[in-house]
Homo-oligomer: A and B are copies of this chain.
């Protein structure tokens, strides 16, 4: 560290291999499903300061979502079973690109579908729209052609979706992995090979609670997705493993509630992070993370975020790939 004045560089390009790039002023992104369509938090935080935000998951057709209750608090976490309530890709396009054009923060669209063709159809429609910075492909969806087996649990199925979407648009593509896969690294490698510009993880884990007074599942949908601090150790582990295996940027998420949590993901190998549940309980969190990260980097002489991305990885990072398997850990 020298004495000259400097400010740390928080910028990150999440699609270095894509001519359209996905340049963010900082690595803090509001996660899909937790930030509506970028409008809802306008009265609470300065949305323009975010690195980017991701829209609620959009589907080919409008969806009314699941029956109530849709959320249930759990120890240091929450379950949600919203059921992808959204206006459908056409309803979305009628309303939001227009609104986003007035904002300067990069807006990413999260898409969900039950067939490869539907993913590609949505991507093609989005390709023509202004004010869309990138697409995040949510592969945690049932594949109808495969009897409802989740796309994201299978490397090939995830790669198929990635290829089809890549053929339909030149927009930067982030593939968002499902933690339900038995080998999340294999899925990451497959989608990287299929053309993903970046990989984000983790989506929620499937869980449920039972209302013991009524003797039935609490959520209207029976199962829901578990998020929040409770799942952070699982998310950090998966980011650590995936980052060691792929060359594209990794975006980490799962239970980030404070600067130390952000640093955990970055040191595990994430070039950027997303905040989901944390926004609900602490709306000021994303902006505070940016400020605190700037301050931390200044104090520690870290000029560019790159310098600490993957800092906790062993020197021969790829060797780690099967460490989670070989050392098992889950039967200690």
Contact = CB atoms under 8 A, between A and B. Distances in A.
A234 B151 CA distance: 20
A236 B215 contact: no
A74 interface: yes
A7 B216 CA distance: 25
The count of identical subunits is 2
Contacts of A150: 325, 328, 330
A193 to B, nearest CB: 20
A258 to B, nearest CB: 10
Contact of A327 (B81, B226, B323): B81
Nearest to A236: B208
Given A204-B331, A210-B264, A142 B325 contact: yes
A287 interface: no
Interface of A: 33, 57, 66, 70, 74-77, 79-84, 112, 138, 140-142, 147-150, 153, 178-182, 203-210, 212, 215-217, 221-226, 228-234, 236-237, 240, 255, 260, 263-264, 267-268, 308, 311-312, 320, 322-332
Nearest to A143: B325
Contacts of A230: 74-77, 229-231
Given A74-B230, A221-B327, 9 more contacts: A75-B76, A75-B230, A84-B331, A203-B330, A205-B234, A206-B330, A210-B263, A212-B264, A229-B230
Given A82-B332, A332-B84, A326 B148 contact: yes
Nearest to A70: B332
Contacts of A66: 327, 332
A123 B312 CA distance: 41
A209 B236 contact: yes
Nearest to A240: B208
A230 B231 CA distance: 7
